[in-house]
Chain A
């Protein structure tokens, strides 16, 4: 059966309550009549032969690139880079698509007699992956072949011996990336393009870059002028990455880009109700929801977190393309919109969204308050093309417990950012000017980033900058069910119930506002006309 497209539902008296994520729980909320609910398209049908499709893409590249085997020869230096643990969300059921792609890339390299091969996890300033995470992403065969001999590496943005400065763009942006990758005869980059923001020149220019390079586009000014991140032509973040990517190409780095898109089959069968529209819930769906909701209500948050983080998504490959970066990415972006795009007429006064337990930066970790803000205001707010779903001066209502809780091993600088920086100011520009440098160069954070599993010291700043566009655009942010102290620390307003939040929102948008709910999962991209 052909998957149905997305739709915008207008709530009326017969509409059942709407599902909201609430961290490690979910709730059903009755939305006011006249509200709109945006539903994503149904998951696309998976490729019947993903291995064959990958091979076909490698042999039939797009743009100005030869087939991969023609780019491989004995004695060459080959570096294969891959997206890190932040993709996809949730982590997918084995085999991970990175494994499927890289097995073929490495088989072709072996057939061509290439023996100088190094794998690089493109961390940028993310935390290093654990052995279990690497094994899951690459499979045991690749891990065992490369890790013992030190050929499976993770990009270290603080390793001066393995960074190379390739030059500056016409706008004065430093381009400094992983030296091994930049000095290889061929750089193969394996992407998982979960949303339209991923991939393109951003893969190498961000994933393999240093702080010196990243600071040129990960800053409040760039973020405010990225409208949105999901629409590359309107995104200053992408413009900067494209300038850098072209400089990388011009400096002689040959990139063979492989991009993959997945369908939005996000949760396994027992959570199937999360994927379906509420009025279409079967008796089984209702029973599963009731059982899950009741169980989670009685489960300590820490246990519930472990349960959810053990979920592996049944994501399936729906497209794969390879070749020259820009040619590949144009096709990828179209494929993502095909899966996730929903046309929406006009903006709304109030945008509501339920936030899940996971974001790109807390896989197997804690969704701390900064990540809550980033997921809601940085990612979900930006899931648009054209114009934001919510009007300027409007209100966003987030639904999340927002605990004042941090993972000290993964997010050490987040703790200090929350205590030291946000207690002083929430203004991204002021934060950038006053605090960024000292966090970015703090030797303790550098040590933890390089040797532990910590995000870089500057990472919480970037998370806050992701919110800059929304903070600049919105009249108020309200968090339903959040820890009041944590919510207030970020400059937002806490509300106990959705009804309270709507009452509070009326101070900003009047007493007869329009309301739109961004229904997730699965992910969607709103094409706002």
Chain B
């Protein structure tokens, strides 16, 4: 059974890092990721099940790993070799579709009593990621024992990690639940105040998911509704999508600061005489979601947030060089937002992040963010495409694992999720706007897709 396996191999790691200087995603072809025949992972113990991936997304953190740009901080919470893929919709041996909540917390690791964070339901903050009966691994997709989504051999998941997929969900809707859960957690944890000005830096999958989460969760009364939601997006299709998902205005990155300044009545510390695009604002947005995690995006976030405002790092940063003087001087709160767990809502009630994420996906039909799927045999192209998603007019790129039988000359197994849209010939599948439009027009009154489970 073919799987993509990431091995500890320093020369290949160095090669990938070098190749990535040519562009994000270029490291996959020369790096430690290889397509191998593997056996299905063993079940670690009671409460574990096998999951056959249907779709598995390529995330920004995957790209950083494949390009050798990931922080060495993670070395202690990863075990090699591992099969990547933590954005997974799969099917159980019993036939039901599930989304995997990939964090491998105390419950999955057989640790009882759980750590204080897991006891509070804050799974993402688990303090035992390198302990218990599993090898180290912060998530499925980074652990040698569990397998990952980029595999025809399947993965194993603890029952605490499983979220049944509603029949109305397409596989594409389901595969974005995990990144949407990340965004949902960031939004819930940002303690939005009513009428606040919110800015989102970056409009890839995470940025768009944050926009969708803010608008859906505020509409549902789970979080306070902002007064304005500005999005800085580099590419036109990102700006269009951000507008559709509820942004007050989706703007080119260099326009974001000006729009926030106008909305908040701030001044600017830029010298108006030189031809510079603008300096830090004296006031600014109450909350900024940095959905990129680069030095530039963090710098921009600090430039447009108000004194004592919050900058929420949603995109995974690595080693970045950032001038923190404005953070110190303006007493900005810099918050990390990793993964998910349990959220406290505006009503005072609590909810699992994934449950909220399903609501957000349904409200906006976020399966439309899946722009292209590839078979894992063409992983180099897939990863390159994901690395250049914005430039190529795409958002989310995923591996399609639904048709392994067809490639082996067998008949599709005919479950509710198989159809002919996968790539029997190994070609890229483009998810056209027309298809998404058709899907959005068949949404039910509650905003949930009303089509069946087939795509």
Query: A444 is contacted by which of B249, B266, B273, B276 (Cβ under 8 Å)?
Result: B266
Contact of B262 with A420 in the complex, beta carbons under 8 Å: yes
Query: A409 is contacted by which of B266, B267, B272 (Cβ under 8 Å)?
Result: B272
Among A408, A409, A452, residue most surrounded by chain B Cβ atoms (within 10 Å): A408
**A448 an interface residue at 8 Å Cβ cutoff?**
yes
Contact of B273 with A453 in the complex, beta carbons under 8 Å: yes
A276 to chain B, nearest CB (A): 37
A289 to chain B, nearest CB (A): 32
Residues of A within 8 A of B274 (CB): 409
Residues of B within 8 A of A438 (CB): 262
Given the complex of chains A and B, what is the CA–CA distance between A406 and B249 in angstroms? 21
Given the complex of chains A and B, what is the CA–CA distance between A415 and B277 in angstroms? 11
Chain B interface category by residue count? 10 to 19
Residues 255-296 of chain B: 1 if any A CB is under 8 Å from the residue's CB, otherwise 0?
100110110011110001111111000000000000000000
Contact of A452 with B258 in the complex, beta carbons under 8 Å: no
**B251 an interface residue at 8 Å Cβ cutoff?**
yes
Contact of B275 with A408 in the complex, beta carbons under 8 Å: yes
A314 to chain B, nearest CB (A): 31
Residues of A within 8 A of B265 (CB): 442-443
Residues of A within 8 A of B276 (CB): 408
Query: A419 is contacted by which of B258, B266, B268, B273 (Cβ under 8 Å)?
Result: B258
Query: B267 is contacted by which of A408, A443, A453, A454 (Cβ under 8 Å)?
Result: A443
Given the complex of chains A and B, what is the CA–CA distance between A419 and B265 in angstroms? 16
Contact of A419 with B272 in the complex, beta carbons under 8 Å: no
B237 to chain A, nearest CB (A): 16
**A407 an interface residue at 8 Å Cβ cutoff?**
yes
Given the complex of chains A and B, what is the CA–CA distance between A365 and B422 in angstroms? 57
**A412 an interface residue at 8 Å Cβ cutoff?**
yes
CB proximity to B under 8 Å, residues A253-291? none
Contact of B273 with A409 in the complex, beta carbons under 8 Å: yes
Among B262, B267, B275, B278, residue most surrounded by chain A Cβ atoms (within 10 Å): B262
B106 to chain A, nearest CB (A): 50
B417 to chain A, nearest CB (A): 41
**A416 an interface residue at 8 Å Cβ cutoff?**
yes
| Known A-B contacts A444-B266, A444-B267; A419 and B251 likewise in contact (beta carbons under 8 Å) | yes
Contact of A408 with B277 in the complex, beta carbons under 8 Å: yes
**A447 an interface residue at 8 Å Cβ cutoff?**
yes
User: From A406, which residue of chain B is reached at the shortest CB distance?
Assistant: B275
Query: A447 is contacted by which of B255, B258, B267 (Cβ under 8 Å)?
Result: B267
Residues of A within 8 A of B259 (CB): 416, 419-420
Contact of B261 with A419 in the complex, beta carbons under 8 Å: no
Given the complex of chains A and B, what is the CA–CA distance between A453 and B274 in angstroms? 11
User: From B278, which residue of chain A is reached at the shortest CB distance?
Assistant: A408
Contact of B275 with A407 in the complex, beta carbons under 8 Å: yes
CB proximity to B under 8 Å, residues A431-488? 438, 442-444, 447-448, 452-454
Contact of A420 with B277 in the complex, beta carbons under 8 Å: no
Count of A interface residues, CB-CB < 8 Å: 17
A407 to chain B, nearest CB (A): 7
Contact of B258 with A416 in the complex, beta carbons under 8 Å: yes
A152 to chain B, nearest CB (A): 21
Residues of B within 8 A of A442 (CB): 262, 265
Residues of A within 8 A of B261 (CB): 444
B240 to chain A, nearest CB (A): 13
Contact of B268 with A444 in the complex, beta carbons under 8 Å: yes
User: From A439, which residue of chain B is reached at the shortest CB distance?
Assistant: B262
User: From A424, which residue of chain B is reached at the shortest CB distance?
Assistant: B249
CB proximity to A under 8 Å, residues B377-402? none
Residues of A within 8 A of B278 (CB): 408
Residues of B within 8 A of A407 (CB): 275
Given the complex of chains A and B, what is the CA–CA distance between A52 and B251 in angstroms? 59
B90 to chain A, nearest CB (A): 43
Residues 16-49 of chain B: 1 if any A CB is under 8 Å from the residue's CB, otherwise 0?
0000000000000000000000000000000000
B229 to chain A, nearest CB (A): 15
Residues of A within 8 A of B277 (CB): 408
Given the complex of chains A and B, what is the CA–CA distance between A448 and B273 in angstroms? 10
Residues of B within 8 A of A444 (CB): 261, 266-268
Contact of B258 with A415 in the complex, beta carbons under 8 Å: yes
Contact of A416 with B275 in the complex, beta carbons under 8 Å: no
Contact of A408 with B272 in the complex, beta carbons under 8 Å: yes
Given the complex of chains A and B, what is the CA–CA distance between A442 and B267 in angstroms? 9
A132 to chain B, nearest CB (A): 14
Residues 408-435 of chain A: 1 if any B CB is under 8 Å from the residue's CB, otherwise 0?
1100100110011000000000000000
Given the complex of chains A and B, what is the CA–CA distance between A409 and B276 in angstroms? 9
Given the complex of chains A and B, what is the CA–CA distance between A447 and B270 in angstroms? 12
Given the complex of chains A and B, what is the CA–CA distance between A443 and B281 in angstroms? 13
Contact of A419 with B255 in the complex, beta carbons under 8 Å: yes
Residues of A within 8 A of B249 (CB): 420
Among B266, B273, B278, residue most surrounded by chain A Cβ atoms (within 10 Å): B273
Among A420, A443, A447, residue most surrounded by chain B Cβ atoms (within 10 Å): A420
A116 to chain B, nearest CB (A): 34
Residues of B within 8 A of A415 (CB): 258
Residues of A within 8 A of B262 (CB): 416, 420, 438, 442
Given the complex of chains A and B, what is the CA–CA distance between A452 and B277 in angstroms? 16
Residues 106-140 of chain B: 1 if any A CB is under 8 Å from the residue's CB, otherwise 0?
00000000000000000000000000000000000
A404 to chain B, nearest CB (A): 11
Contact of B275 with A409 in the complex, beta carbons under 8 Å: yes
Given the complex of chains A and B, what is the CA–CA distance between A415 and B257 in angstroms? 12
User: From B275, which residue of chain A is reached at the shortest CB distance?
Assistant: A408
Given the complex of chains A and B, what is the CA–CA distance between A415 and B275 in angstroms? 13
CB proximity to B under 8 Å, residues A340-367? none
Given the complex of chains A and B, what is the CA–CA distance between A420 and B275 in angstroms? 20
Contact of A454 with B258 in the complex, beta carbons under 8 Å: no
Given the complex of chains A and B, what is the CA–CA distance between A415 and B273 in angstroms? 15
Given the complex of chains A and B, what is the CA–CA distance between A144 and B73 in angstroms? 66
Among B249, B255, B261, B272, residue most surrounded by chain A Cβ atoms (within 10 Å): B272
CB proximity to B under 8 Å, residues A375-414? 407-409, 412
Query: A412 is contacted by which of B255, B266, B272 (Cβ under 8 Å)?
Result: B272
User: From B282, which residue of chain A is reached at the shortest CB distance?
Assistant: A444
Given the complex of chains A and B, what is the CA–CA distance between A448 and B278 in angstroms? 13
CB proximity to A under 8 Å, residues B226-268? 249, 251, 255, 258-259, 261-262, 265-268
Residues of B within 8 A of A420 (CB): 249, 259, 262
User: From B270, which residue of chain A is reached at the shortest CB distance?
Assistant: A408
Among B265, B274, B277, residue most surrounded by chain A Cβ atoms (within 10 Å): B265
Given the complex of chains A and B, what is the CA–CA distance between A438 and B259 in angstroms? 13
Given the complex of chains A and B, what is the CA–CA distance between A416 and B263 in angstroms? 11
User: From B251, which residue of chain A is reached at the shortest CB distance?
Assistant: A419
User: From A415, which residue of chain B is reached at the shortest CB distance?
Assistant: B258
User: From A423, which residue of chain B is reached at the shortest CB distance?
Assistant: B249
Given the complex of chains A and B, what is the CA–CA distance between A443 and B261 in angstroms? 10
A-B contact pairs, 22 of them (CB 8 A): A407-B275, A408-B272, A408-B277, A408-B278, A409-B272, A409-B274, A409-B275, A416-B259, A419-B255, A419-B258, A419-B259, A420-B249, A438-B262, A444-B261, A444-B266, A444-B267, A444-B268, A448-B272, A452-B272, A452-B273, A453-B272, A453-B273
List the 10 closest pairs (A to B, CB-CB), nearest first: A452-B272, A444-B267, A409-B272, A409-B273, A448-B272, A419-B255, A416-B262, A416-B258, A408-B275, A444-B268
Q: A408-B277, A419-B258, A453-B273 are in contact. List 13 more A-B contacts (CB 8 A).
A: A408-B272, A408-B275, A408-B276, A412-B272, A416-B258, A416-B259, A419-B251, A419-B255, A442-B262, A442-B265, A443-B267, A447-B267, A454-B272
